[in-house]
Every structure is written in C-alpha cells, then in structure tokens.
Amino acid sequence: MSTTIPPITTPPPGPSVRVRAEQFWRRVTDGLELNQLWSQFQADARASYRLYAREIDSSRKQGVRRGRHWWGITKQFFWAILEKLSPARRVLLLLALLMLIFNPELQWTTKEGTHIVGFDLRLWGGLLLFVLLVLEVADRVVMKRDLQIAREIQMWLLPLNPPAVPGLEIAFATRPANTVAGDYYDVFPRTHPESVNQTYLLAVADVAGKSIPAALLMATFQASLKTLSATACPLGDLVERMNHYVCTNSQSGLRFTTAFLGEYDLQSRTLTYINAGHNAPILRRSSGTIERLEVGGLPLGIQDGSAYQTGSTLIEPNDWLVVFTDGVIEAINARDEEYGEHRLLSVLDRGINSTPAKLLSRIMVDLDFFVGTTPQHDDITCMLVAGR
C-alpha cells in the first residue's frame, strides 16, 4: 500500500518592511505630501499662537531688564497653557514635567560604605504626558463630533441652492472660520395680502463673534426673520421688529448683528433695502459705475426702538449686486494685508460676462490664492445677484 505525501506549500511572503513602513506613513499622514504637512503645521501653529497670545502682555515696562522681561513672558505663556486644562490635568502635567526634569538620588552610609541609588523617572514622566494627550484627544473627538452635528443642523437652516427669481440670477456661498458660523444668508418669496405683486426677500447677516455662540444667535435670527416675514408689513416695520427681537438676545448690545435686508419687486424691478450697520453692498451698473447701498441704521441688537431709513434702487439687466460680510474684504495674508474691496471689484470687472455661480467661484479661488496658508479668522459669506 503506497502513501502519497502531499507537497509542502510555503505561505506567500508577507509585505516587506519597506511596504509596511509606507503603509504606516500613509495612514499617519492621510496621504499628504511633506509640503502640505508643513503648511498644515504652520496654520495650526499660528492659530494656537493667537489663542494664547490674547492672554499675554508682551509690552516691556520701563526699567525692566531684557532677561527679566522674557522670563515674565515665558511665565505668562506657561499659565496661559496650564489654565486651559482642568485642575486634575494641571496636576498631572506638572507631575510629568517634574519627572522629566528632575532625577532624584537616594544616598545613605553604612559600615560597608556609601550607597547611592538613582531614580530615572523620565520614562514615567513621558507616560504621564501620553496619558494627558490621550485624555485631551478624547475631549477633542467628542467636541468635534458634537460640532459636526451642529454644523449639519446649521446647513439645514441655510438654502443649498438659490430660488428661481424672474429677472435675477443669484449665487451665494459661505465658509465658516470654525466648524459652525455666525453668518446668515437667504433668498425666499414674500407675499403681501394687500398687493398682487410678488416680492422676494434677500438677506445677508453677520452675528458678532464666531463659533457656537454666534451660530446659536444666527439660528434664532433665521427663525425670527422667517416668522416675521410671513406677516403683512413693509420692510421698515419688519426690520424694526427684528431689531426689537435681537435686542432681547444681544446681552446689552455685546452680541449685535449687522444685516442687509432687501425686498425685490418682480414687476417694477425695484429693490427696497435697509442696511443695518452691514458692509455696504456694491451695485455695479452695466455702464461700469459703482453705487453703494448704505441707507439704513444701526446694527440690530444695539438700541431697541432705533429708527431705520429705507432705500430703493433698480436692478436693470446686466447690473451686478455684491452683498458680502466683512470676512471677505478683511481676509489677511501672511504679510498682514487685507483682501479689500478694490481687489473684489477687480475680479468682478473681469467676470461680468459669466454667470453668478462661475464668478462667485472665481472670487473664492482668488481669495484662497491671496490668503495662502494664513488661517481664516472670520466667517466668509458672499451673495451675487445679476440682473437678467
């Protein structure tokens, strides 16, 4: 009886060390190149520096030596970091630093001689720092998840695409400085029971501040505007009611809101507007002349009962209206230069033969090119309206 011995098969070789290293590096860097990683690090470093620098007084007092001055700044910077942590984590950080800096020795003498025992606590100090990093990352992940949910809710409040308005072509875009923003924009129809004319309300607003507080006030602004717009009242009364409502939530004027509200009449092509302390929108006529829509009053939320003047203008075919928040023209580059209205007008002049959507894309690309790697310090919102 013969027995057949199966051939011995060797398992396929696993990935080489080089391949595994490349896979590990791609996982760590998300596939980014070294120059992209360096740019990201620079942006993060600038943002962190601005966060801590707000709490540091770098002015040198008269009679204070240079070395003592810099030692004072170092202490301020240390406390600015330490006070961002919870009390328990402050103790953990201090203990880890002590372990990294000091290596104590225990010495005693017996009949046999002097005995010295050294304690190398650097490993334990590094482990404590790692534990602190894990705790901070866990907080960041939870906060980031909550902010992402808040961002999704905020996006539901803002229109994804502009409505079809006869006689106009509209495009808008927004870019928050943080995960959520305090800028608001909208275009929606408004019907007056006493009139057969159909009108559309154009709104761009900017709540003072950034991030979650501004986003919450933006949501209340949007809700109140939609509710009050459904009532039969002229634009002036609508803005006065909005001002009264915002005053109840502005913390005595600290959380005011600048806004541009315009009501466009389809039949007469007239835009009735009120500028409540907002950046004056730019109306570029087909002839090339520039008009500023400045009529209005104080920002909403500063003074209850404030009066607002109403302006009006025509939007003829080939006219362009640009409504923007201060984050557009006040965007800065690495040389601390502002983008400015002059550059915005230059892009507008070069793209008047295109559609609002394409021109708005050009503006945002030019803004990115101008800013470069400088972190965005304010929310950016822009609305383009072209007469057709």
Is residue 328 included in any domain, yes or no? yes
215 lies in a domain? yes
Question: Structural domain tally of the chain?
Answer: 2
14 assigned to some structural domain: no
Q: Are residues 148 and 204 in the same domain?
A: no
Region 231-249: mean pLDDT is 88
| Domain limit, last residue, from 139, 157, 175 | 157
Do 214 and 306 share a domain, yes or no? yes
**What's 177's domain CATH number?**
3.60.40.10
- The residue among 100, 131, 157 that closes a domain is 157
| 132 domain-assigned | yes
Examine the domain organization and report whether 244 and 114 are in the same domain.
no
- Asked if 171 and 384 touch (Cβ cutoff 8 Å), the reply is yes
307 belongs to a structural domain = yes
Lowest pLDDT segment from 79-83, 109-113, 230-234, 348-352: 109-113
* pLDDT above 70: percentage of residues in the chain: 90
Region 52-59: mean pLDDT is: 78
Residue predicted with more confidence, 29 or 173:
173
- Distance between CA atoms of 184 and 191, rounded to whole angstroms? 22
pLDDT of residue 377: 81
Q: Is 33 part of any domain?
A: no
Give me the pLDDT at residue 41, please: 81
**Domain co-membership, 279 together with 300:** yes
Ranges of beta strands (E only) in the chain are: 105-110, 113-118, 168-175, 183-191, 198-207, 257-265, 270-276, 282-284, 290-292, 296-297, 311-314, 320-324, 380-387
Name residue 386's beta-bridge partners: 169, 320
Q: 69 pLDDT band (50/70/90 cuts)?
A: confident
Q: What mean pLDDT do residues 352-373 have?
A: 91
Same domain, yes or no: 206 and 246: yes
Q: Mean pLDDT lowest for which of 218-222, 270-274, 293-297?
A: 218-222
**How far, in Å, CA of 387 to CA of 172, rounded?**
15
Tens-place pLDDT, residues 119-164: 678 888 888 889 898 888 888 888 778 777 777 777 777 888 899 9
Mean pLDDT of all residues in 60-74: 82
Higher local confidence (pLDDT), 375 or 363: 363
Is residue 235 located within the same domain as residue 193?
yes
Query: Residue 385: which of 166, 159, 168, 158 has the closest Cα?
Result: 168
Most confident of 147-161, 179-193, 339-353: 339-353
Give the mean model confidence (pLDDT) for residues 187-213.
Answer: 80
- Kindly state whether residues 149 and 166 are assigned to the same domain: no
Q: What is the mean pLDDT of the segment spanning 316-326?
A: 94
- Examine residue 193 and state whether it is found in any structural domain, yes or no: yes
The neighbour count for residue 340, using CB atoms within 10 Å, is 14
pLDDT at 358: 94
**pLDDT at position 339, please?**
93
At 176, is the secondary structure helix, strand, or coil? coil
Statement to judge: residues 139 and 255 lie in one domain: no
Tell me: do 74 and 184 sit in the same domain.
no
The arithmetic mean of pLDDT across residues 227-253, rounded, is: 86
The rounded mean pLDDT for the chain is 84
What 3-state DSSP class applies to 322? strand
pLDDT band at 176 (very low <50, low <70, confident <90, very high): confident
Last residue of a domain, one of 157, 189, 208: 157
The string of DSSP codes covering 190-228 is EE-TT-S-EEEEEEEEEESS-HHHHHHHHHHHHHHHHHH
Range of the domain at 133: 70-157
The answer to whether residues 232 and 380 belong to one domain is yes
Weakest mean pLDDT among 91-95, 148-152, 257-261, 325-329: 148-152
Q: In this structure, is residue 208 part of a structural domain?
A: yes
pLDDT at 312: 94
Residues 148 and 214 in one domain: no
Q: Assess whether pLDDT exceeds 80 at residue 8.
A: no
262: its two tokens: 């315009």
Tell me, what's the pLDDT at 146? 74
pTM value is 0.72
Give the pLDDT score at 74: 85
Do residue 176 and residue 325 come from a single domain?
Answer: yes
